[in-house]
Structure 1
Amino acid sequence: MEEITEGVNNINLTGDLHKKNRIQVSNTKKPLFFYVNLAKRYMQQHNEVELSALGMAIATVVTVAEILKNNGLAVEKKIMTSTVDMRDESRGRPVQKAKIEILLGKTENFDELMLLLPKKGTL
């Protein structure tokens, strides 16, 4: 019995490791620059970040990616679009939602640019 539990725990851990640099963006929960700053931190730690969103939050993901690219911090590595089957909570029927995943990588001068940016709480 212990071996099975340990095996399941190992599966969960390896699955989590693969997704450590993914940010699932919502357009209702956090402000735009929360995601911009989080993406910068993820790129510092992992050299790349994957931004993911469904439906109406897609515009937020695209805006975050564009801010990072326009400031010279990120380069686009991959964009994936798809549809996801979901259940409509209010009507109880299946619906399809658009999904986007944008993989961004650090630019060559990312670290240099990050040093030039003002730190939180300083003038």
Structure 2
Amino acid sequence: MEEITEGVNNLSVTDSNKKNRIQVSNTKKPLFFYVNLAKRYMQQHNEVELSALGMAIATVVTITEILKNNGLAVEKKIMTSTVDVKDESRGRPIQKAKIEILLGKTENFDELMAAAAEERDVGGGEEQS
């Protein structure tokens, strides 16, 4: 799994300077960290691009499905490719599967987010991050 993380870290600068891109690793953060981050990015940029390599692809698909099933996101574009990643143990590049999913806000995204925020405020009186 370390080579996946390394692969994500080695993506070119032009690839990673998009302000609404989340590079998902299945080792670094819990699933709902990414779900909540994706919601925030959609609020700010109206869309979010989730990107992952190798085993983390399943995590991106799960995040996408959670957002779709909650009525927050629609798929705009799905791109698949393979990328060369340096494998330290073998000393030569290996090919990794890559997925990029572009999600946009649904028509009632803002409504649903406002309702969820209101629920939190009324529920505990404490702000959750």
TM over 0.5: yes
Structure 2 residue runs without a partner (length 5+): 1-12, 125-129
Q: Which amino acid aligns with 2:71?
A: G
Kindly provide the CA deviation profile for residues 93-122 of structure 1, in whole angstroms up to 9, marking residues without a partner as x: 1100000000000000000000111438x5
How far apart, CA to CA, are the structure 2 residues paired with 1:87 and 1:17? 18
What aligned pairs does 1:90-101 form with structure 2 within 5 A after superposition? 90-101=89-100
1:38 alignment partner in structure 2: 37
Q: CA deviation at 1:91?
A: 1.3
In the TM superposition, structure 1's runs of 4+ consecutive aligned residues that sit over 6 Å from their partners are: none
Q: Percent identity?
A: 84
Aligned-residue offset at 1:51: 0.1
What is the TM-score when the length of structure 1 is the normalising length?
0.82
Q: How large is the Cα RMSD of the aligned pairs?
A: 2.0
Query: What letter corresponds to residue 69 of structure 1 in structure 2?
Result: K
Q: Give distance in 1, aligned partners of 2:92 and 2:49.
A: 30
TM-score of the aligned structures, taking structure 2 as reference length:
0.79
For 2:120, the aligned partner's letter is: K
Query: Equivalences for 1:19-30 in 2 at 5 Å?
Result: 19-30=18-29
Distance 1:25 1:17 in 2: 12
Kindly tell me the number of residue pairs found equivalent between the two proteins: 109
Deviation at 1:17, TM superposition (A): 9.8
- The superposition leaves residues 55-106 of structure 1 with CA deviations (integer Å, 9 ceiling, x where unpaired) of 0000000000000000000000000000001111111111000000000000
